[in-house]
Amino acid sequence: MTLIKSISGIRGTIGGPVDENLTPIDAVKFAAAYGTWLKQQRNKDNYVVVVGRDARISGEMIQNLVMNTLVGLGIHVIDLGLSTTPTVEIAVPLEHADGGIILTASHNPKQWNALKLLNAKGEFLNGAEGQKILEIADSNAMNFAEVDDLGKITINDAYIDIHIDEVLDLDLVNVKAIKEANFKVVVDGVNSTGGIAIPLLLERLGVEPVKLYCDPTGHFPHNPEPLKEHLGDLAKAVVKEHADFGIVVDPDVDRLAFMDETGEMFGEEYTLVACADYVLSKTPGNTVSNMSSTRALRDVTEKHGGTYEASAVGEVNVVTLMKKNNVVIGGEGNGGIIYPDSHYGRDALVGVALFLSLLAEKQMKVSELRASYPNYFMSKKKIQLTPGLDVDGILNAMESNYSHEKLTTIDGVKIDFADSWVHLRKSNTEPIIRIYTEAPSQAAADTLADRFIEEIKAIANI
């Protein structure tokens, strides 16, 4: 089964049988269920949905199916075409739309695609709303419009520029200092829409972009998850070009990672740490990230006099806790920056602008900036799920085995040791169990992860 229905949307691989993969029929069914749910939220004459996509090979096909399904429901569609997840998020309220759909499978390989669903605020739906849409899809309780009441599609390809304008207008983005710094930056756009948006942003900021894989063909030149083992070409380019640093984003541009001037990873976990350090230095307050994120954010927050709290994994969970705690910046340790002064969504463009502002003001190399933060090391591993594997049973056994340690069970099982932690959870986006660890050294983090993998295999008899 590679059709995953979760808090993160409807995600699957292209092709194969209906209800088991993301086929055209599944795309139509879930788009119709979403449109039906949206019309149930309030009674009005005209409904509008903003739709955009990353550069995946299947994107145009899926987007056309989704848009014309909405048209069939009598919903008007604003087609952003090639876009980014955060761009669609900011477009929804600017267009006074009722919702939005982004066609992207984020960091998943090219055979995957997904429908990410937004509410009228341009924010992801919560679990209850997502469940209601699944129930509508299962019941086939959709009522389509008559011929005179069909919706219309309007193309608007200006929103990446509008998004950049919004970023540059943020009070904490120090455009003057960035321009004076004369930065040179290599950008790995993984042949998706980051290759459009990030260089345009850099040029507006007076930064010289060196483009690497910035042609939005959807043919990803490497695994699109922005991890060190996938970024050898970026490392070589940064050194060869004598660049100040490197930038890499995932296909839909909501995850952001940096590489220092020597070709070493800044660490995607430290994207949020650095941006939070900058924001907290200007606007003291609280922070939130998810349970699988580095302790370094807690340390930096407390240094600035704020309070840190961790949420369950999933952007909607992070945003909910951010609103509750009235935080000034938050996000996810996978390189996802959520800055409420902009909008409540992970946004690599905002992250780039905040990071450049920090670097310009501190006037230090990226490697020096990284050395100024608490040093933690993470290991991110996974176990492939097989039919019949009792994930809940495994997690319950782990909870029992480590009941004498500090445990958090709001999302899988997280075990906090004195100088390290391990988080075990079933993924929302892939058929895997994730094993995340953090420790004072990479070797210790890897050893801890391997130990728990062996313990899981022993419990599951695999």
Residue 171's contacts (CB-CB under 8 Å, 6 or more residues apart) are 341
Residue 396's contacts (CB-CB under 8 Å, 6 or more residues apart) are none
Give the number of other Cβ atoms within 10 Å of residue 175's Cβ: 18
The one-letter amino acid code at 196 reads: I
Nearest to 225 by CA among 336, 92, 81, 320: 336
Alpha carbons 72 and 403: distance in angstroms, whole number:
54
Query: Is 357 one of the annotated active-site residues of the chain?
Result: no
Alpha carbons 190 and 215: distance in angstroms, whole number:
8
Alpha carbons 351 and 257: distance in angstroms, whole number:
9
Alpha carbons 415 and 424: distance in angstroms, whole number:
9
Query: Which residue carries 């492939």 as its tokens?
Result: 384
Give the number of other Cβ atoms within 10 Å of residue 283's Cβ: 14
Given 106, 192, 293, 379, the catalytic residue: 106
**Phi, then psi, of 228 in degrees rounded to 5:** -50, -45
**Phi, then psi, of 292 in degrees rounded to 5:** -95, 15
Residue 265's contacts (CB-CB under 8 Å, 6 or more residues apart) are 228, 231, 257, 258, 259
Alpha carbons 18 and 7: distance in angstroms, whole number:
21
Which DSSP string corresponds to 274-328? HHHHHHHHHS---EEEETTS-THHHHHHHHTT--EEEE-SSHHHHHHHHHHHT-S
Give the number of other Cβ atoms within 10 Å of residue 236's Cβ: 13
Let me know: does 327 contact 286? Beta carbons within 8 Å: yes
Nearest to 3 by CA among 426, 29, 12, 23: 12
Active site residues: 106
